[in-house]
Amino acid sequence: MSSSEASPLFAGSIPQFYAQYLVPILFEPYAADLAARVARLRPTRVLELAAGTGVLTRHLAQILPHDVTIVATDLSQPMLDQAEATGTARPVEWHRADAQRLPFLDQAFDVVVCQFGVMFFPDKLQALSEARRMLRPHGHFVFNVWDRIEANEFTDTVLQAVRPLLRSDGLPFLTRIPHGYFHRSILQDDLARAGFTRPPSISTVPARSRADAPHLPAVALCQGTPMRNELEAQGADVLRVATEQASAAMAARFGTGAVEGQLQALIVVTEAE
C-alpha cells in the first residue's frame, strides 16, 4: 500500500498477517490476471506502485522475460521488507517511494501497474498524474480496484459481523477505502484530469475466493488490514471478539469446511498519448 496517510497503518504485525492470510484469499487471482495483461503489452521497463507484500511483483517476475526491468515501490517499509523476505523468481528493484511524489525521471517506463493500491492514495489526482508522468508515449497504466463491497462476499460477511463493534460515526475502513473507489464515471474523470486523454478500458472481472476454513478470511480481514487498528482502538479484547464473531458469521454463511465466495473487481487500462 502507498499513501502518506495510510502507510503507518500497515505496520506492526499487519504485514505478516496480510501476506500469510489476505494475499492467498483475496489477491492471488487478480495478481495473475494483472501480470498477464502487463505481459501482453511487451514492456521493457515496468514500474509497480503500492506493491505491498509483493504478490503482483512475484507474478510479474515469473511471467515477464528476464531482460524486462521491474521496479517495485511502496511507501510502507514494513510491507516492502515482507515482500523482499518472501523473494521473487528473479531480481527486482525495490524502492520505498510515495506514489504521489515518485523519485524517477519523466517517461522512464513503458508500463505502470498497480494492484488494489489506487484507493489508498489520499490525493488520487496527484498519484494518477505521477503515473502519467512516468509513461513513455503510448505507454500504459494498468490497475485494478475492488468493486462495491456487496459484490465481495467474504469481505461483506466479515464487515457485517464486526460492524457493531466499530465506531458508529463515519464509514468503516473497508467500505471507506478498499471498496470506496469503484464508480466508473469517477475513475474516467480522474484519469482525464490527470492527463490521460484517451478513454480508459474498464472491465468488471469476477473471481472466486477460497480458504481451507471459515476462520481464515476472518483472521485475514480483521487482523491483516487496517481494520485491525479500528478494532483495537475500541478496547483491549475487541480484536479477539471481532475475529470470533467474523469466524462464526463465515461458518454460518459458507459452512464449516473449506469455503468459497465471490470476488469482483474493476480492471482499468489506459494509454498515454
pLDDT tens-place string over residues 162-176: 999 998 888 899 999
pLDDT of residue 13: 65
Burial string for 17-49 (b: 16+ CB within 10 Å, else e) reads: bbbbbbbbbbbbbbbbbbbebbbebebebbbbb
**Whole-prediction pTM value?**
0.93
pLDDT at 3 > cutoff 60: no
Q: What is the C-alpha separation between 65 and 167, in angstroms, rounded?
A: 48
pLDDT at 16 > cutoff 70: yes
pLDDT at 157 > cutoff 80: yes
Average pLDDT of span 108-126: 97
pLDDT of residue 9: 55
pLDDT of residue 15: 80
Average pLDDT of span 232-259: 97
pLDDT at 5 > cutoff 60: no
pLDDT of residue 215: 97
Q: Do β-strands 135-146 and 69-74 pair in parallel, antiparallel, or remain unpaired?
A: unpaired
Which CATH topology does 7-271 take? Rossmann fold (3.40.50)
CB atoms within 10 A of CB 93: 11
Domains in the chain: boundaries? 7-271
pLDDT at 249 > cutoff 80: yes
pLDDT at 47 > cutoff 80: yes
